Amino acid sequence: MNHPDLAPEALAGLRHALAGPAGGLQVEVTPGPPEPTVPPRRRGARLRSLADRMLDRIADLVARRLAARTEDPGIAARVEELRAELRALGTTGAAMLLARAADAHTRIEALATTFELLKAEVQALRTLLDRLGEGLAPGSGLEAAPARIAELRDRLGTLERRVRDLGTPAGVPVAPAPAARTGPQAATVRFDYLGFERRFRGAPEELTATLLERYAELCAAHQPVLDVGCGRGELVGALAAAGVAVTGVELDPAMAAEARAAGRPVVTGDALAHLRDLPAHSLGTVIAVHVVEHLPIERLVELLELTASRLRPGGILIAETPNPASLVVLGNSYILDPTHVWPLHPLLLQFLCERAGFRDVELRYFAPAEGYRLPLIETVPGLAPWIDEVNDRLSRLNTTLFGPQEYAVVARVAPASTASPGPGAASPAASGPGGPVSAP
């Protein structure tokens, strides 16, 4: 149909008239309270009614505009056709829109219900896990539960070893340890040192890996090796697996028996008595990890002198111990262990090794308490001298408070080509109160 009133220009004018004030199609929105939730069916009826009214008004407006411009009787028929087409199109579109809206509304309600159910289940699971964590690790929660379970397993193993060692049926009270015993297990059998060590020093596998990283090369270069106070012999087994000739000596017979059951070459006995029974100059390395701090000074001096006499020329002693020169250690991990006898300052242990007959005594520091250190001040132009002085003092304070948490003496006897100094004689290389000290 090519009526001039339906030309593009006329339709553009019609759209302008519909949009403007003269078109009569205006909707005034007045803010008010939010409408209550309406069921999908009622919303559909409202939308259909609104669509019908809108289409009727559009059709009437078109009819009035065209009637004002022409007397053609066919226009009225065409308007009615357009009205019917618009109504059918609006009804179909509204029906599709309403169907989609209803479907979306149903899905959203289903998802909301599922979400609420899942939220309730998660909350119930969280409550259950919190109760489980408090039951396994009171005061610490679920995060500490694996460590507590490992401790319980170790405690059970300790009890089984004690019962097996004493030959006493389960349920019979265990006799106290002999008063003459020394070392980590010396205080009393009632103190679970194995569980204590696991909780506060870490898993044996991690400790063994750290010790291998620090000392495996030294031990392999100076064989055979004797591990004093080896416990269950984890380090002994690791060195033996690497092809190192190694033996361990352990005072606790149950722990020594457990080491032998695992195929580790460990003997039961007191370290001092074991060293006395060995021939002179028969060892390449003696290693003692966290042992010397458990010994009274008399036994420590005897241990060092016996070790110096049993090592071959050029042989080494490795003695690792907590570093009390770092005050975070002295006030935390050192005092935490009730079996410690006396804190051994690095310079004191170095001095004792020199007097025992060792030629060179090197200090090696490990595991600085980086997480506690005070941050240094960034340099600012014009204030560099002042800031450098403050940073220097902060660095010293960090070293004193939060320095290395462990250290080891690596003490060497004189090589074969040099006369060995006797006990009480310090070599020139190790003379003075400090001796050769490696930087932390």
The helix (H) or strand (E) run that includes residue 366 is: strand 360-368
Q: d(Cα 239, Cα 220) in Å, to the nearest integer?
A: 8
Domain containing residue 249? 202-430
241 and 99, same structural domain?
A: no
φ, ψ dihedrals at 322, nearest 5°: -60, 150
357 and 246, same structural domain?
A: yes
7: Cβ contacts below 8 Å, ≥ 6 apart: none
392 lies in some domain:
yes
| Statement: residue 270 has pLDDT above 80 | yes
The least confident of 114-118, 177-181, 286-290 is 177-181
Beta bridge partners of 289: 320
52: Cβ contacts below 8 Å, ≥ 6 apart: 87, 90
124 lies in some domain:
no
Question: Which pLDDT belongs to residue 297?
Answer: 95
| Statement: residue 64 has pLDDT above 50 | yes
Specify the residue for token string 């159910």. 117
φ, ψ dihedrals at 210, nearest 5°: -65, -45
416 and 300, same structural domain?
A: yes
At residue 60 the predicted structure's pLDDT band, cuts being 50, 70 and 90, is confident
| Positive or negative torsion for Cα 105, 106, 109, 115 | negative
Please tell me which residue, 46 or 103, carries the higher pLDDT value.
Answer: 103
For 425, counting Cβ atoms within 10 Å of its Cβ (0-12 exposed, 13-18 middle, 19+ buried), the class is exposed
310 lies in some domain:
yes
Question: Which pLDDT belongs to residue 432?
Answer: 35
97 and 207, same structural domain?
A: no
Q: Which amino acid is at 62?
A: V
194: Cβ contacts below 8 Å, ≥ 6 apart: 154, 155, 157, 158
340 and 213, same structural domain?
A: yes
The least confident of 7-16, 43-52, 274-283 is 7-16
| Positive or negative torsion for Cα 9, 10, 14, 16 | positive
- The CATH number assigned to the domain holding 388 equals 3.40.50.150
437 lies in some domain:
no
34 lies in some domain:
no
Contact 349, 423 (CB under 8 A): no
180 lies in some domain:
no
Contact 108, 114 (CB under 8 A): no
38: Cβ contacts below 8 Å, ≥ 6 apart: 46
Q: d(Cα 292, Cα 154) in Å, to the nearest integer?
A: 24
286 lies in some domain:
yes
Domain boundary residue, one of 106, 124, 154: 106
| Statement: residue 177 has pLDDT above 60 | no
262 lies in some domain:
yes
Domain count, the chain: 2
At residue 434 the predicted structure's pLDDT band, cuts being 50, 70 and 90, is very low
218 and 98, same structural domain?
A: no
91 and 207, same structural domain?
A: no
Domain boundary residue, one of 67, 86, 106: 106
Domain boundary residue, one of 59, 82, 106: 106
Contact 324, 404 (CB under 8 A): no
246 and 101, same structural domain?
A: no
